[in-house]
Amino acid sequence: MFDAGSTGTRVHVFKFKKTPNGAPKLAHETFKAIKPGLSPYADDPEKCTAGIQELLNVAKENVPCDLWKSTPLVLKATAGLRLLPGQKAKQLLDKVKDIFQSSPFLSREDCVSIMDGSDEVEEGNTLVSPCLAPDYEEQWEHAEVVYTIKGQKAGEPLYESCYSKVEKMLYRKVKKAEEAKDMDFYAFSYYYDRAVDIGIIDEKTDGNIKVEDYEAAAKKVCKSMETDQGKNPFLCLDLTYIAALLQELGFPKDKVFKPILKQRMFYSFKMTREFKIMSAKETGNIEQEELLERLIAHCGESE
């Protein structure tokens, strides 16, 4: 799986094993990233060849050669290519497809594609977000195209509009784990910072925060931003996303999270997460293991 993002291209080589019930389970993942992404080669697609070949070599090193012909290659491009002029994006994707088809791996006709955007509604060169205040407007240049980013229309309830968009984005992408309500969880990094922003916890004294605190803060912040975007124009989006994501994962609204500073977490986090995941594996608690891995992956991405 190739992830062509705006800042880099990554390859994920997944190895699965069958569980007793026949369902596949991730056994190992190899990862490598290179910079820049594909979009800087928009004017000369041939130059992306070396980077794609480098990532293909990673696949060759990790997939047994007798399985190459049956191992599919897939590349999904995101914002970087989505914002390029149509013909330039197509030329880049066509080049990647040619490289894939020249490799010993399985490459289908639809092996490369651009993912649809889920956070904005495009109107020409204007990006409209239902999670930004009506008075929000900024210019952003990408790939020689200047975009105008705007908030939603005045008079629309900001929280409800934003929550609806977030729900659609998360739909069928998050697996609920019912046992989450009975496990101890800590709020750090992205979750910790937003809790500090809304004054629920203090950086010096810490405290506790519940899922319903994020939700209540999201409603309050979004409501205030209907008339004034404030100092942090993305706070409504952040809080709404956190509230929706945690509930989609299975956390009840009264679930308490223990906030912890990133500096204090750094030294023990890796050891703790491995212990938790190993414990889940040893007890056969597959859903608990998957929940831990999803939360860890999400927190890592926020960094």
Mind listing the pLDDT tens digit for each residue in 120-167?
344 456 778 899 999 899 887 754 557 788 888 888 899 999 999 898
CATH node for 2-114: 3.30.420.40
Model's pTM, two decimal places?
Answer: 0.51
Q: What is the pLDDT of residues 186-204, one digit of tens each?
A: 777 788 888 888 888 877 7
Of 40-49, 170-179, 289-298, which range is least confident? 289-298
What was the pLDDT predicted at 79?
66
Q: What are the extents of the domains in the chain? A: 2-114, 121-151, 158-302
Q: Find, among 197, 296, 196, 178, the residue nearest to 247 by Cα.
A: 178
The single residue of 46, 61, 109, 120 carrying the catalytic annotation is: 120
Q: Strand ranges (DSSP E) for the chain?
A: 2-4, 9-18, 24-34, 75-77, 112-114, 121-123, 126-129, 137-142, 145-151, 186-187, 209-210, 256-259
Alpha-carbon distance 252 to 254, whole Å? 5
Q: What is the pLDDT of residues 75-90, one digit of tens each?
A: 998 767 877 888 888 9
What was the pLDDT predicted at 185?
83
CATH code matching the domain that covers 158-302, chosen among 1.10.3470, 3.30.70, 3.30.420, 2.115.10: 3.30.420
Domains 2-114 and 158-302 share a fold: yes
The mean pLDDT of the chain is 81
Annotation says 144 is catalytic:
no
What was the pLDDT predicted at 125?
65
